[in-house]
Structure 1
């Protein structure tokens, strides 16, 4: 499949502190692409760089054929509306119901009348299994439901690409497995491309079509490919240690 994201020679640094350097990869249309690695390797920073929140010290990222850091004004906003983001804690507005949270991007970025916005928002909540919770506040639902609501809001504008930041963090194994199944189902049914940042091994193997692995010690990318192939055949000691859960 063609690439919808092309990252080339990316370096992330904060002052003299270099997190990673010379990272290049493609994300193909319709796949679940996982960014993995240990704590402090720069996974979340790479996500923020890809969605235009943190500028690279070097390199470029093309999203749907457009350099996200070379685009400004209305063209940049149009590009950003074509990606959705779910943050680790859901990042929902606590004073609004789930329905109102999902409806917000529609109110901000479309000309749909209120009734139509609510119907679209209800449909998105239905996609993630939250139809019955539409009128509840974020404080009234579980952590797993918060993550699902965050995905529903990220889907509000029908973006072709979704970025998920640590979707399984803080969830019990059963809830996490249900969220993994949802991600796979949405990828298949909608054809949406997912970029998922996680270090949860079970989720990586359950959802990932391809992955890259960052390493804090190497300050860069040390592996790329099918996570199951990396688990079974990689000879890199850090990759082996990660997938086999042993000290490098």
Structure 2
């Protein structure tokens, strides 16, 4: 079931603005992500979804505003403190971003090699457990070129989970997948969130996925340069009076 309205906020974004070379991508963006929920950042192309994600995980510095992740102001952290926080989040990029010359198991082991002192046998065991969680137990010794796009996305999620982070960020997980594979990935995300209590922040514009997995969402808009909606995506689809939000959720052409 969705995260409780009273659940602790593990991410707090306040009055965030992103600007590059004098161009405002978005501004005045504020929201919370609650522990254990699947939170979706949605909107049309060019609205700043991936830019917002990169701000939250510390790749970009805000032009204005603040970002708190797991009780820490990520934009203010440096050195060892910053690295310690980053080890508590996992990220799966759109393509899966797997190392082509390494097996799936070796890909999952990369964060363990970099950030733990586990011996090789223990790393291999953890990798197989994580691959098992995403349904890839039988593919551990395959190379990325030997698997499908959907399997690559699952392997990317397994690697993102290697250090047992409480928050996982997924960038366009359904992009490029056929409807059946996409539905399977949606089911996996929902299952992991419920079984493990992991918080997911998912960037996507795939309407079916949004409605299938999202507990709550925010919608960004390119023209508005900011947020235009927040809440349960199904309620936004059925009840929003904003014509842009309504058009997005109902796949309508704007007049």
TM over 0.5: yes
1:153 aligns with 2:159: yes
Query: 1:17: how far off?
Result: 1.1
Q: Which runs of 5+ in 1 are unaligned?
A: none
- Equivalent position of 2:139 in the other structure: 133
- Equivalent position of 2:234 in the other structure: 228
Task: Give, in whole Å, the separation in 2 of the partners of 1:104 and 1:23.
Answer: 34
Task: Give, in whole Å, the separation in 1 of the partners of 2:167 and 2:20.
Answer: 27
TM-score w.r.t. the length of structure 1 is: 1.00
1:184 aligns with 2:190: yes
Task: Give, in whole Å, the separation in 2 of the partners of 1:238 and 1:17.
Answer: 22
- Equivalent position of 1:197 in the other structure: 203
Task: Give, in whole Å, the separation in 2 of the partners of 1:112 and 1:161.
Answer: 22
Task: Give, in whole Å, the separation in 2 of the partners of 1:11 and 1:139.
Answer: 39
Query: Which aligned runs of 4 or more in structure 1 are off by greater than 3 angstroms?
Result: none
Task: Give, in whole Å, the separation in 2 of the partners of 1:138 and 1:14.
Answer: 35
Equivalent residue in structure 1 for 2:150, among 144, 148, 151: 144
- Equivalent position of 1:8 in the other structure: 14
1:17 aligns with 2:23: yes
TM-score w.r.t. the length of structure 2 is: 0.97
Task: Give, in whole Å, the separation in 2 of the partners of 1:162 and 1:14.
Answer: 26
1:79 aligns with 2:88: no
What's the secondary structure of 2:10's corresponding residue?
A: strand
Equivalent residue in structure 2 for 1:239, among 242, 245, 253: 245
1:136-170 deviations in Å (ceiling 9; x for gaps): 00011000000000000000000000000000000
Query: 1:247: how far off?
Result: 1.5
1:27 aligns with 2:38: no
Aligned residues: 248
Q: Which runs of 5+ in 2 are unaligned?
A: 1-6
Query: 1:76: how far off?
Result: 0.5
1:27-46 aligned at under 5 Å gives the runs 27-46=33-52
